[in-house]
């Protein structure tokens, strides 16, 4: 069982390595499944820190390259190029 993160931010001391293209392709599949099947996912991305939130992806904006992660208590527009990890809940 995976942990549901709630408003979590972890400071980063060292630069993050780039995400493997195969891992990125798997993340895209999970994101598209969340949109189509309306189930929650955990998403980690890098802002000023590593943010972790969970929710359902309700929209994908291809113009600004962001996904809209929605939960009852919040909405986050997550930049796709800053994704670190996406996993099913």
Instruction: Give the pLDDT confidence score for residue 13 in this predicted structure.
Output: 65
Question: pLDDT of the chain along its 89 residues, tens only?
Answer: 344 445 567 777 677 778 899 999 999 999 999 999 999 999 999 988 899 999 999 999 999 999 999 999 999 999 999 999 999 98
Query: How far, CA to CA in Å, does 77 sit from each of 2, 17, 20, 39, 59?
Result: 22, 22, 22, 17, 9
Model pTM score = 0.83
- Cα–Cα distance for residue pair 57/19, rounded to 1 Å: 20
Instruction: Give the pLDDT confidence score for residue 8 in this predicted structure.
Output: 67
For the chain, the straight-line distance linking the first and the last C-alpha, in angstroms and rounded, comes to: 8
């Amino acid at each position: 069982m995976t942990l549901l993160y709630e408003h979590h931010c972890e400071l980063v001391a060292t630069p993050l390595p780039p995400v493997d293209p195969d891992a990125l392709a798997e993340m895209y599949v999970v994101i598209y499944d969340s949109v189509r099947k309306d189930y929650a996912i955990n998403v980690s991305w890098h802002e000023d820190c590593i943010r972790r939130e969970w929710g359902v992806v309700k929209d994908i904006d291809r113009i600004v390259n962001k996904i809209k992660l929605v939960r009852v208590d919040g909405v986050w527009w997550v930049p796709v190029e800053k994704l670190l990890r996406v996993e099913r809940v």
